[in-house]
Amino acid sequence: MSGLAVGLALFAAMLVLMALRVPIAITMLVPGAIGYAILASPDALLNHLKGFAYARMSVYDLSVIPLFLLMGQFATHGGLSRALFGLANALIGHLRGGMAMASVLACAAFGSICGSSVATAATVTQVALPEMRRHRYSGRLATATLAAGGTLGILVPPSVPLVIYGILAEQNIAKLFAAAFLPGFLAAALYCAAIFLYVRLFPDHGPASERHTLAERLALAKEVWPVAAIFVVMFGGIYGGLFTPTEGAAVGAAAALATGFAKRELDRAGVVQCFLGTAETTGMIFMIFLGADLLNSALALSQMPAMLATAVATSGLPPVAVIVAILLFYVVLGAVMDELSMILLTIPILFPAVMGLDLFGLDPASKAIWFGILVLCVVEFGLIAPPVGLNVYVVNSFARDVPMAETYKGVLPFLGADVLRVSLLIAFPGLSLWLVKVLT
C-alpha cells in the first residue's frame, strides 16, 4: 500500500470510530498506532511510545494549559463573575437591551482571566440570567446573548485553543495572545451592536430599566479590582518580559486562589471541586493531544500533509479563496466536533499548505499568527450553531422554561456578527497583527 492510501485509510478509520461513539482521543490514538506500525514498523512504534507520553506532556509551553484551567476554576468558584456583571450592569443595564450588553462585557472581562468558553458561559449565566429574566428580558435574547458571550472566553486571552495552535504551528504563545486582544474587543463590540439592533426591532425583548446612582456604581467598581489586578499582573508580567506565559498562568492561579479566599467565596471543599474540575478538563484535553499527536506522526510518515501542501500551492487558486475554503471547512466540521479536536487534527495537515500561500505579502510568522486568529474565530461557530452548540446546551440548561429552538433563533444575530468579524479580520490582517508589533 502506498503512503497516501494508508493515510486515507487512517482518516476513514478515525471517522468511523468517531461515528461509533468511541472517545475522540482514542479514534485518533488507535489508528495512529496502527498506521505508525504499518508505515514504519511495529518495533519502531513500541520504541516511539517509550518516551512519547512524557515527551508530549512535559512541553513547557503546554504546561500553561493545566495552570490556566486551574486559574479559571478558582475564578469561577471564587464568585468573580458576579462582581463583573454587577459593575457592567450598573453602568449600562438601564439602557434598552443594556443588561444583555452588560452580560457580553462581563463575559469578555471574565474571559480575560479564563481560557475556556463553556466555563465562561456557565459562570456568567448563573449571575446574569436570573437578573435579565427578572427585568422581563425575553428568554430568547437572554440565553442567546450568554451562549454567544461565552465564546469570548476563548477568544479573549488567555485561550486554551490558541495555546494548542501555538504548539502545533510552532509560534510564540505571548505573540498569539497579543494578536487575539483586538479581535476579542471587536467581537464584544459587534455583539453589543447586534443586541442594539435587535432591541430596536423587538423592543419588548430587552426593556429599559432603572438607572443606578453614582454611589452604587463606585461601590461595585471596588468589587471588580481583583479581576483587574490579576489581569494586569499576569499580562503585564508577560509583556513586560518579567515572566513566561506559563509563569503568568501560575501567578494568575495563585492570585485567583488568594482572591477567592479573601472574598470568603472559596473554602477547602471549594478548592477540592476546583482541583477535580481541572483534572477532568486537563485529562480530556491531553488525551486528545496524545491521540492527535500519534495520528499526525503516522500521517507525516505517509507524506500526506506534504502532498496536500504541494497540491494547494500549485493549484493556481487565489490564496484568499483557499483560506475562505479552509475556514468554511472548519464551520462544517464544527457541527460535529469540538474545537480542540478540530485544531489538533487539522492544523498539522493544513498548516504547511497555508504557509505555502502568498497572503498580502505577510512574512511567515505574521501569516501563522493571523491564520491562527481566524481559525480560533471560526471554530467558535460550532459552539453556538446547530445541531450541537455546546454553549447553547450549557446556557439553556439554566433556563428550563426556554425551549432550545428559542435560544438557537436568538443566536442568529450573533452568528451574523461573527461572520462580519471574520470577514473584517480576513480583509484587515492589521487588526490581529498591530498589537503584536506594539507589545513584543
Partner 1 sequence: MQATGGQPPPVFFSAMGRALELLCKALALAGGAILGALAVMAVVSITGRLFGRPIQGDFELVQMGCAIAIAWFLPHCQLRRANIIVDFFTVRASERAQRTLDAAGAALLAAGLALLAWRTGAGAVAMKAGGETSMIMAVPLWYAYAAMAPAFALAAVTGLYTAWLEWKSR
Catalog residues that contact partner 1 under the rule CB under 8 A.
17-26, 29-30, 33, 46, 49-54, 57-60, 62-63, 66-67, 70, 237, 242-244, 246-247, 250-251, 253-254, 257, 272, 274-276, 278-284, 286-288, 290-291, 335-338, 341, 387-388
**What's the closest the beta carbon of residue 298 comes to partner 1, in angstroms?**
14
Please report, for residues 304, 328, 332, 412, the alpha-carbon distance to residue 379 in angstroms, rounded to integers and kept in the order given. Answer: 23, 10, 10, 16
Q: Minimum distance from CB of 276 to partner 1 (Å)?
A: 6
The three cell numbers locating residue 369: 499568527
The answer to whether residues 198 and 205 touch, using CB atoms and an 8 Å cutoff, is: yes
Q: For residues 101 and 195, is the Cβ–Cβ distance under 8 A?
A: yes
**Residue 420: exposure state from Cβ atoms within 10 A (0-12, 13-18, ≥19):** middle
| Dist CA 227 CA 252 (whole Å) | 10
The minimum distance between CB 242 and partner 1, in angstroms, equals: 7
Q: Distance (Å, rounded) from C-alpha 437 to C-alpha 440? A: 6
Q: Which is nearer to partner 1, 202 or 275 (by Cβ)?
A: 275
User: Which residues, 6 or more positions from 134, have their beta carbon under 8 angstroms from its beta carbon?
Assistant: none
Residues 157, 280, 283, 289, Cα dihedral to 10°: -50
Nearer to partner 1, 23 or 403 (CB): 23
Please say whether the beta carbons of 201 and 96 come within 8 A.
no
**Minimum distance, C-beta of residue 65 to partner 1, in the bound complex (Å):** 8
Q: How far is the CB of 310 from partner 1 (least distance, A)?
A: 31
Report in angstroms how near the CB of residue 339 gets to partner 1 at its nearest: 11
Pick the closer one to partner 1 by CB: 273 or 310: 273
> Strand, helix or coil at 21?
coil
CB of 316 to partner 1, least distance (A): 35
CB 93, min distance to partner 1, A: 35
- Report the alpha-carbon angle 360-362-368, nearest 5: 120
- As a whole number of angstroms, the distance between CA 264 and CA 280 comes to 25
Report the nearest approach of partner 1 to the CB of residue 318 (Å).
33
DSSP per-residue codes, 376-390: HHHHTHHHHSSS--H
Residue closer to partner 1, measured from CB, 1 or 57: 57
Length of the chain: 440
- Residue pair 331/382 in contact by the 8 Å Cβ criterion: yes
C-alpha cell read off for 286: 491531553
C-beta closer to partner 1: residue 59 or 317: 59
CB of 379 to partner 1, least distance (A): 14
In the bound state with partner 1, the residue whose beta carbon lies nearer, of 129 and 383, is 383
Residue 260 makes CB contacts below 8 A (sequence gap 6+) with 74, 75, 77, 78, 79, 266, 270
We find the least distance from the C-beta atom of residue 53 to partner 1, in angstroms, to be: 5
Quick one: 282 or 303, whose CB is closer to partner 1? 282
CA distance 52 to 50: 6
What would the grid cell of residue 262 be? 479573601
Q: Which is nearer to partner 1, 54 or 363 (CB)?
A: 54
In whole angstroms, what is the distance from residue 31 CA to residue 16 CA?
11
Closer CB to partner 1, 60 or 215, in the complex? 60
What does the alpha-carbon distance between residue 338 and residue 401 come to, in Å, rounded to a whole number?
Answer: 27
* DSSP H or E run through 164: helix 160-168
